[in-house]
Amino acid sequence: MRLALFDLDNTLLAGDSDYEWGQFLVDRGILEREAYEAQNRTYYEQYVAGTLDIHEYLGFALRPLAEHTPQDLARWHAEFMRTRIVPMIAAGARALVGAHLAAGDLCAIVTSTNSFVTAPIAREFSVPHLIATEPETQLGRFTGRVAGVPCFRGGKVRRVDEWLAGLGRSLRDFPESACYSDSHNDLPLLERVSRPVAVDPDQQLATIARQRGWELISLRG
């Protein structure tokens, strides 16, 4: 059995689910457009540049979850999946994940985006394991705070190690461990696996991948 780890945003998706969730709420009139949209764009630009303060960002991104009922959030998310996410899934992404699943590989989506947003997306791909940033809940409601270690940069490595340990495994147990990502923010995890794959990579990751002889692929088009 091999291990296959998939980044989600701009890797399996031709877009960023966290950013799009915020924009969806703005477009539905749930969030105030001018203030939220500008801040959402700023944080996304910081992520791309590699300067994002993840705790500051999560305080911003998780706040809307705390301000609404689980019933409303679930209803909005179903519409979000249908109108925003499914159109961002290219045939190549489905084929890649499907090939790993058909081969019997242990598959997980590993994403910094919170699990409320991403769990339905993992189900859409039929990926059985999701390692994501976890929003805190109390008495069935989101608090707006993060629970545990954010699944971001080095936190992805820690969370993957903890997940594997919970299965009684480690990376070295697999004859091949693949990680697919578009972002230089995922270098800590890409450097840990035996088969790092740059998928439609940003400029920084593309440069590093070429220098190190890593695979470069595209799932779009």
What are the residue numbers of the active site? 7, 9
Full DSSP string of 102-122: HTT-EEEEEEEEEHHHHHHHH
Residue bearing tokens 């809307």 = 64
Q: What is the separation of C-alpha 71 from the centre of its chain, rounded to a whole number of angstroms? A: 23
Residue pair 109/93 in contact (Cβ under 8 Å)? The answer is no
146 DSSP β-pair partners:
135
DSSP-derived 3-state class of residue 147: strand
How far apart are the C-alpha atoms of 201 and 84, rounded to whole Å? 22
Q: Which two tokens stand for residue 78?
A: 């179903």
How far apart are the C-alpha atoms of 141 and 144, rounded to whole Å? 9
Residue pair 130/115 in contact (Cβ under 8 Å)? The answer is yes
Output 202-207 pairs: Cβ under 8 A, ≥24 positions apart: 202/10, 202/48, 204/50, 205/181
CA–CA distance from 79 to each of 2, 67, 82, 116, 180 (Å)? Answer: 35, 19, 5, 14, 28
Residue pair 145/158 in contact (Cβ under 8 Å)? The answer is no
